Amino acid sequence: MAFLLRRLVFYLAAFVAAATINFFLPRLMPGDPIQIMFSGAGSNLTMENLNALKLTFGFVDAPMGQQYLTYMQSVFTGDLGRSVKYFPLPVTELLARALIWTIGLVGSATIVSFTLGTLVGVMAAWRRGTVFDAVVSLLAIFSSSVPAVVISLTMLFVFGYSLGWFPNGYAADPMLDPAFSWGYISSVLHHGALPMFTMVIVLTGGFAVTMRNNMINLLGEDYIVMGRAKGLSENRVMLWYAARNALLPTVSSLAISIGTILGGSLVTEVVFNYPGLGNTLYQAILARDYPVIQGQLLIMTAAMLVSNFVVDLSYVLLDPRLKKA
């Protein structure tokens, strides 16, 4: 319990630190967002109108410390202000709208690629040195080292534009109203297919490599040798003796890589005009929509911290030594 409490305090401190960086980073960057936003209309606007606009967008000329306190208060009350670009939509509503699509896309892609990558990795390690292992290793290294942007653009070009099998944008046919109907659901699946395949290609290689390496480390262990010596079937030794144990570090690395996966979905969403968090963040940066950028970074920070906490919890469950600590 003490261990968990210590970790909780640590996470809270980490969250406050991250939120603080979120606040100061955009403000340390050169350029005043309001000045940029209205530089074209600069001489049409009197100072009075400009100040009124600044207030509307929540840019207060208060001392930095006071602004910081107001900001921290809004972070903990969940009121992230209004988007500048999508004014007057509240940031929370904008992000909630995008979050659904990202969770769907990233969630399904992660599940598919984790399952696929793990299975392939296990088999490659088990048949180490065979042609299968060589091919898998090569493909895995290739797919995890080619940038996501290249893969997504290639997919878009080949299957979207040239062959025309899949739509080139949107999360569903825009002319269909969201409904729990086969028409709408199949449209969502059809539109999500290309971005999901892209992410599966990007992610599977990494999972396969990790799993293969973990397995190889375990294959020399005595209990594997013993399992074989006892005459157990190959599959039983491979899956129940080796793979199950090799899976544990892979699962924790999965939790840690949630942040990376979210980041990786950015490129995919932008290329396929998919209305998720990545695309929203990209547009917010282009438009210097600071409230949205701040809110989004906060969500990503929170997601990272929560997934790390889940890993901590799993350690407590798996490692009896920590229960006493």
Q: Where on the chain is the footprint of other proteins (CB under 8 A)?
A: 29-33, 35-37, 39-46, 48-49, 51-53, 55-56, 82-89, 94, 97-98, 161, 164, 167-178, 270, 273, 275, 279-280, 283, 288
Minimum CB separation from other proteins for residue 143, in Å?
A: 25
Q: Given the complex with other proteins, which of 147 and 233 has the nearer CB atom?
A: 147
Q: Given the complex with other proteins, which of 48 and 222 has the nearer CB atom?
A: 48
Minimum CB separation from other proteins for residue 16, in Å?
A: 28
Q: If we measure between CA atoms, which residue out of 279, 324, 306, 285 comes closest to residue 106?
A: 279
- Burial-class residue 281 by CB neighbours within 10 Å (0-12, 13-18, 19+): buried
Q: Which amino acid is at 105?
A: L
Q: What is the DSSP code (8-state) at residue 129?
A: T
Give the Å distances, CA to CA, from 306 to 71, 94, 193, 278: 22, 22, 28, 19
- The four Cα atoms 216, 222, 226, 228 give a dihedral, to 10 degrees, of 10
Q: Which residue has the tokens 């080139």?
A: 168
Q: Given the complex with other proteins, which of 168 and 307 has the nearer CB atom?
A: 168
Give CA angle at 179 (173, 180), nearest 5°: 120
Minimum CB separation from other proteins for residue 103, in Å?
A: 16
Q: Retrieve residue 245's tokens.
A: 């144990």
Q: Given the complex with other proteins, which of 36 and 64 has the nearer CB atom?
A: 36
Q: Given the complex with other proteins, which of 160 and 264 has the nearer CB atom?
A: 160
At residue 40, the 3 state secondary structure works out as coil
Minimum CB separation from other proteins for residue 75, in Å?
A: 21
Minimum CB separation from other proteins for residue 57, in Å?
A: 9
Q: Given the complex with other proteins, which of 37 and 185 has the nearer CB atom?
A: 37
Minimum CB separation from other proteins for residue 104, in Å?
A: 15
Give the Å distances, CA to CA, from 62 to 48, 55, 84, 183, 257: 17, 11, 19, 53, 39
